[in-house]
Amino acid sequence: MKKAGLTISGLTISIVIIAVLVVGLIIFLGSSTSSSGNMIQNNPPTGGTLSAQTISLTELSTHNSKGDCWVAYNGEVYDLTEWLPIHPGSSAAIEPYCGTAEEFENAFEGQHGTSKVETLKQMGTYKGELE
């Protein structure tokens, strides 16, 4: 009898673990989409097939809010507006640097080093080269 109880308990625990993993996967996959349901993805420069727009520091500085957040990293400008709500460190960690280049780069590297550069490029929308 005890063995049957342990088997059912073990089965219940296994089902709960599987359910949690499935829900986590659904949440993770759901966070890869924007509020309109479109995948958030980078539009990187592609070896001359797209003409990269040149963005001045003045233009960059106009995109300085939670609802319109562009940043520059290593001379490339990215729109992070749709990434802000799903940023694991909260949108508040990035918001002060919206519209900046050097300030964002210093804060980004201070927090992440270069370990999250690929994430930045994947989750941000490439806008062009900083002038």
Q: What does each of the 131 residues of the chain score in pLDDT, given as a tens digit?
A: 455 554 567 667 766 666 555 555 455 545 444 443 333 445 554 444 345 799 999 999 999 999 999 999 999 999 999 999 999 999 999 999 999 999 999 999 999 999 999 999 999 999 999 99
Model pLDDT, residue 126: 97
Q: Which helix (H) or strand (E) holds 15?
A: helix 2-30
Angstrom distances, CA of residue 91 to CA of 11, 48, 128: 40, 33, 23
Model pLDDT, residue 29: 47
Cross-sheet strand order for the sheet of 64-65: 54-55, 125-130, 76-79, 68-73, 64-65
Model pLDDT, residue 9: 73
Model pLDDT, residue 3: 54
